Amino acid sequence: MGDMLLSRRTATALLVVSAVALAGCASPTPVPTPESAESEAAAILTSVVASGLDAPWSIAFHGETALVSERDSARIVEITATGGAREVGRIEGVRAGGEGGLLGIAVHEDQLYTYLTADAGDGGATENRIERRDLLGDPGALSLGDAATVVDGIPAAGNHNGGRIAFGPDGMLYATTGDAGDRESAQDPDALSGKILRLTPEGAVPDDNPIPGSAVYTLGHRNPQGIAWTEDGTMYASEFGQDTWDELNVIVAGENYGWPTVEGIADREGFVDPVQQWSPSTASPSGIAVAADEIVIANLRGERLRIVPLADTGTAFELHGGEQRGEYGRLRDAVAAPDGSVWVLTNNTDGRGDPRDGDDRILRVDFGEG
C-alpha cells in the first residue's frame, strides 16, 4: 500500500529538517511537501539531541530525563542537558547476539523495567525476560537498585525477539514478543512467543486478561516492534513481516493477527487485518509514538520516519521523503517526550547499518501549530 497524503493539518505543513550538531548548527534543509500542499500552518523540525551512542535500542523518560538502552553493551545511559550520555548502570546477565541483548525499557513509578536476552540456566539455552529495578538518585547522578524478575521464560533466538515494553493508560505493562524462529508458536495460546503480553507492574496476570490466568493479550504475531496508545485508549502496534508485508495494527484484547497463516491484509475470518501495510524494503517498522494526532513510526530498513494521521490510518506521509530519505540511516525507536516533541533513535552501529560520523544519534521532531 503506497504512502498517501497525511491529515490536512500536517499535509499542509512546512516540513523542515535541520541537522543541529552538539557543537554547532547547520542551515535548515527543506523537505519537499506534497504537490497539493498549501503554504499554511506550522513547521516540523528535526535536530540532534545526542550522538555517539553504541547500538541503542530504546528510549524511556524518567520525568524530564531521557534514558536509553544499548543492546550489546547492556548499558543504561541518561542523556544530559548538554547532550552527553552518562552511564547509569549495566544490566547484569545480558547475553547479546544477533537481535538479542538489552532491548526495550520503560519507567513506572521510579522503577526501570528492562526487556533482555539472558542465559536461561538450562544447558546454555537463552530466554527473554523482563526485570525491574529502582531508579535511585537525581538526574545527573542516577543509579540502579537490585533486579527483580517480572516475567521470564519468554523464548529467545538469534532473531525475532520482539522486545518493546510500555505501560498502557490502564497502568498495566505490555510487552511484544517475537516468534523466536518458531513460526507455529505464534498461534499457540500456551506459548509466550509471537504475542503481545499484558501484566501487572509486579508481573501477575490481570484478572481481566482475555485468557484467564494467561499473560497473553493477543496472538498471531511474527515480530511486533512498537506499541503506543491514543488519548482514547486505542492501542497500535507495528510489526515486521516476512517477505511480503510489514504491518500497522490496531490491537484488541484476545484477537488473532494471523501469523504465520496470513501476512498483511488477507480478509480471512478469524484474523485481524492491519490498518496499513508496507513492503519490507520500504519499512521494517520499529518503535512508534503518538503525538499531535498522528502515529510516528521509525523504520529500519526503510530508513525513513513515517507519519500516519489518526483521522485516516489508511494513509501515511514520510517526514524524511525525497532527497532526505536515508539521511540519518536506520531508525529504531520513536517516543513521545514530556514537552510534546518526539525523540527518534537511529540504529546504524548494530552491525546492519552504515555508521557515519556521530552515530548513533537521538533526533528531536517538533510538531508545530498552525
pLDDT digits (tens, 9 = 90+) for 60-89: 999 999 999 999 999 999 999 889 999 999
Q: What pLDDT shows up at residue 21?
A: 28
Q: Backbone phi, then psi, for 210, in 5-degree steps?
A: -65, -30
Contacts of 323 (CB under 8 A, 6+ apart): 32
Looking at residue 78, its pLDDT comes to 98
- pLDDT given at position 6: 32
Q: How far apart are CA 90 and CA 102, in angstroms?
A: 10
**Strand residue runs (E) in 200-354:** 216-219, 224-229, 235-239, 246-251, 276-278, 285-291, 294-299, 305-309, 317-318, 331-336, 342-346
pLDDT at 321: 52
Q: Is the pLDDT of residue 11 over 70?
A: no
Q: How far apart are the first and last CA of the chain?
A: 29
Find out whether 131 and 107 touch, Cβ atoms under 8 Å.
Answer: no
* pLDDT > 80? residue 33: no
Amino acid at residue number 53? L
Q: Please tell me the predicted confidence (pLDDT) of residue 370.
A: 42
Question: What is the rounded average pLDDT for all residues in the chain?
Answer: 87
Does residue 318 have a pLDDT over 80?
yes
Q: Are strands 195-199 and 216-219 parallel, antiparallel or unpaired?
A: antiparallel
Residue 35's Cβ-side half-sphere holds a number of Cα atoms within 13 Å equal to 0
Classified as helix, coil or strand, 234 is coil
Per-residue model confidence (pLDDT) at position 326: 81
Place of cell 536476552: 117
Side chain identity, residue 67: L
pTM of the model: 0.89
Mean pLDDT across 214-225: 98
Question: Quick count: other Cβ atoms within 10 Å of Cβ 81?
Answer: 9
Taking 3-state DSSP, the helix, strand and coil percentages for the chain, each rounded to the nearest 5, stand at 5, 40, 55
Q: Helix or strand or coil: residue 298?
A: strand
Given a contact cutoff of 8 angstroms between Cβ atoms, the answer to whether 163 and 176 are in contact is yes
What is the pLDDT at residue 250? 98
Model confidence at 46, in pLDDT bands (50, 70, 90)?
confident
What integer pLDDT is reported at residue 20 of this predicted model? Answer: 29
Confidence of residue 158 (pLDDT cuts 50, 70, 90): very high
Question: What would the grid cell of residue 318 be?
Answer: 514520510
For residue 316, what is its C-alpha cell? 501515511
pLDDT band with cut points at 50, 70 and 90 for residue 324: low
The enclosing H or E element of 9 equals: helix 8-11
